[in-house]
Amino acid sequence: MTQQTIHTPPLPAAVAARLFFRRASRLVLQKPADRLAHEDRVKQALALDGVEPLQGALVDMLVGCASDSALSKVFLQRKVQERLSPLVLGAMLAQVSSGEPLPRVNKLATRWCVLATPSLDVSPRALLCGTDDSRTIVANAIQALLEGDVEAEMHFLDHCVSSNDVLAFMLARKELGRRGRALSPQWEEVMEALQKRINQ
């Protein structure tokens, strides 16, 4: 009797990248001061879309590892520098230069951190919905909004209010204006609600 070989289909690249990142995150939790574990996690983060996974991995590295020349090299990688915003990169390089570990609670932490926690003065939008999410939500919704899909518009505006996603709201509003799409009165109401929260 011949034994049958079961072939499992390969995972999609994006799913596999997330699994590798999660595995690397668990290792960092187990060995928070292990620089090589952090470096591997940064490598896995670079395989993911967006900025937040990478920023989270780098922030955890600053929290867990001592600042030295080996740590500096991670932040000077071209791929890392191209992905981060200049302000975030500058803050991280300044932290490396200080020779001190980053406090566990800090402004640079993202939802992807496993060691660090965002400080209370980080905006609620950043905790509920990151910049990568905001841009993706707008990209996915814009065509339906342009076509005047009332249900899609309701869902989008509800998301903006419930997640305090000012960025998604402003990006969509700008794009709709650029394309000459008239906005319903609900947009004005949502804008007022978001402005009230900002001013609180």
Q: What pLDDT band is residue 1 in, cutting at 50, 70 and 90? A: very low
The radius of gyration of the chain's CA atoms, rounded to the nearest angstrom, is 21
How far apart are the C-alpha atoms of 102 and 65, rounded to whole Å?
9
Considering the domain architecture, whether residues 30 and 76 belong to the same structural domain is answered as: yes
Residue ending a domain, choose from 118, 143, 171: 118
Residue ending a domain, choose from 118, 140, 157: 118
Per the model's pLDDT, the better-predicted residue between 121 and 189 turns out to be 189
**DSSP element (H, E) containing 118:** strand 117-118
Considering the domain architecture, whether residues 83 and 22 belong to the same structural domain is answered as: yes
Total residue count of the chain as it appears in this document? 200
Q: Do 92 and 108 meet the contact criterion of CB atoms below 8 Å apart? A: yes
Window from 57-71, 124-138, 164-178 with minimum mean pLDDT: 124-138
Note whether residue 125 is domain-resident: no
Within 8 A by CB and 6+ apart from 38, the residues are 28, 57, 60, 61, 64, 65, 74
Q: Do 167 and 133 meet the contact criterion of CB atoms below 8 Å apart? A: no
* Amino acid in position 64: G
Per the model's pLDDT, the better-predicted residue between 126 and 23 turns out to be 23
Per the model's pLDDT, the better-predicted residue between 176 and 5 turns out to be 176
Considering the domain architecture, whether residues 181 and 159 belong to the same structural domain is answered as: yes
Please count the structural domains in the chain.
Answer: 2
Note whether residue 7 is domain-resident: no
For 49-114, strand residue ranges (E) read 105-106
How far apart are the C-alpha atoms of 42 and 54, rounded to whole Å?
6
**DSSP element (H, E) containing 190:** helix 185-199
Q: Do 16 and 46 meet the contact criterion of CB atoms below 8 Å apart? A: no
The pLDDT, as a whole number, for residue 121 is: 59
Considering the domain architecture, whether residues 53 and 146 belong to the same structural domain is answered as: no
- Per-residue pLDDT, averaged over 72-84, amounts to 91
pLDDT digits (tens, 9 = 90+) for 138-188: 888 899 899 988 888 988 888 888 777 888 899 999 999 999 998 999 999
- Per-residue pLDDT, averaged over 103-119, amounts to 88
Enclosing domain of residue 139: 131-199
How far apart are the C-alpha atoms of 9 and 32, rounded to whole Å?
34
By the 10 Å C-beta count (0-12 exposed, 13-18 middle, 19+ buried), 54 is classed as buried
The pLDDT, as a whole number, for residue 129 is: 58
Query: Is a pLDDT exceeding 80 seen at residue 101?
Result: yes
Percentage of the chain with pLDDT > 90?
A: 38
Within 8 A by CB and 6+ apart from 36, the residues are none
pLDDT digits (tens, 9 = 90+) for 181-200: 989 999 999 988 888 766 65
Considering the domain architecture, whether residues 112 and 45 belong to the same structural domain is answered as: yes
